[in-house]
Amino acid sequence: MNMDMFERISEHQQVLFCNDQATGLKAIIAIHNTTLGPALGGCRMQPYESVDAALEDVLRLSKGMTYKCAAADVDFGGGKAVIIGDPAKDKNPELFRAFGQFVESLNGRFYTGTDMGTTPGDFVHALKETNCIVGVEEEYGGSGDSSVPTALGVIYGVKATNQAVWGTSDLGDKTYAIQGLGKVGAKVAEHLLQEGANLYVTDISQSAIDDVLSKAKQYNGFVKVVNDKEIYSVDADVFVPCAFGGVINDETIEQLKVRAVAGSANNQLLDIHHGKILQEKGILYAPDYIVNAGGLIQVADELYEPNKARVLRKTKAIYTSLLDVFQESMNSGICTVEASNLLCERRIESRSQRNSFFSHMKRPKWAVRN
């Protein structure tokens, strides 16, 4: 018997290949670890060049969700789904209904919603087949735009980072370099301007830049627009990546003049060793999966009796979680992302001693109308 595939998924509990002939759906759902609760993670749609590339992506992303859930202290485990296809051409309601049926077949072991290439509207179709969907619009029983709590979490992440570097969590007397002024970056920029901070910003979208410049006028703040290459080398205190992953790499680390990095982008370090290089350079790195957990906290909360006050409290707790990570990193001499992974593994290990029942979380099916 060829065990290669089992070796490849050896860290995971379950991998489901979904094939629906009628709609052409080809998807993979990966459940990494359910020690803390049912798996939770978004569904990405991308024209992967091979099934192998899709599998690699879903295995990596679902493992990341285990750590993200543990760090955010939500009672969920790590899971993720990928649909192989072009979001611009291959989407249709039936495809998402077929996907919803596969999610339902897991009977509450996996909850999902939007990620790159998918929208809340896509999941309204999946919601007709399963109640294990999060993050749709409020009219369908979801909690709406997750970028609002994500941006708030980034602000608390930056405060903790400032506290660790400068001994004060004040935001206002610093200069920030913000990369990406989309749903999250624009809100972070506005909040920092309100606090009196100075900003360097970059985005490939002129309308996103224009929006921030008009906010700068409103708050009488200083904003300097730079191009996408210059953002790494500007004379700022904190680099705030809010666009895409892999931005901390051999090339960019050389250019950074900042004392800290804290932003919303997923997978900011091209590789974990870049976390060590940042540490050696005296740049404090706030692990991305802690800083950007506000959206996760909001969608996880949907599966209980939704409670905005609780979402706010847990999002604000990103501040103390980060301070714990910085302390662990200082105590043990390891870089911050290693310290964060260690704290998450300890939390999962301590919970693995206890049996947990989570079927009560399965919420009633929403009556979905077109």
| Positions that interact with ligand NAD (CB under 6 A) | 146-147, 150, 179-185, 202-205, 208, 228, 242-244, 264-266, 292, 295
CB of 299 to ligand NAD, least distance (A): 9
Is 217 an active-site residue? no
> In angstroms, what is the minimal distance from the CB of 147 to ligand NAD?
4
Task: Choose between 162 and 264: whose C-beta lies nearer to ligand NAD.
Answer: 264
Gap between the Cα atoms of 261 and 164, Å rounded: 12
Q: Which amino acid is at 354?
A: R
Give the nearest residue (CB) to ligand NAD.
182
Taking phi over 0 as left and psi of -120 to 50 as alpha, with beta for the rest, 243 belongs to: alpha
Instruction: Name residue 249's amino acid.
Output: N
What is the length of the chain?
370
Whichever of 100 and 180 has its CB closer to ligand NAD, that residue is 180
Minimum separation from the CB atom of position 347 to ligand NAD (A): 20
If you count DSSP H runs as helices and E runs as strands, how many of each does the chain have, helices first? 14, 12
Which ranges constitute the DSSP H helices of the chain? 4-8, 51-72, 93-105, 120-126, 147-166, 183-194, 206-219, 250-255, 273-280, 288-291, 294-302, 308-316, 318-332, 336-351
Give the CA angle between residues 156, 333, 242 to the nearest 5°: 30
Q: Which is nearer to ligand NAD, 224 or 351 (CB)?
A: 224
- The residue among 95 and 152 lying less far from ligand NAD, judged by its C-beta, is 152
**β-strand pairing of 25-33 with 77-84:** antiparallel
* DSSP at 363: P
Comparing CB distances to ligand NAD, the nearer of 66 and 292 is 292
Q: How far apart are CA 345 and CA 350, in angstroms?
A: 9
In eight-state DSSP terms, residue 112 is B
Spatial CA neighbour of 303 closest among 132, 81, 119: 132
Task: Tell the smallest beta-carbon distance from residue 29 to ligand NAD (Å).
Answer: 20
**In the bound complex, what is the minimum distance in angstroms from residue 69's beta carbon to ligand NAD?**
13
CB of 82 to ligand NAD, least distance (A): 15
Name which of 138 and 173 has its Cβ closer to ligand NAD: 138
CA 121 to chain centre: 20
User: Of 80, 174, 187, 215, which one is the catalytic site residue?
Assistant: 80
Q: What span, in angstroms and rounded, lies between the C-alpha atoms of 15 and 136?
A: 25
Active site residues: 80
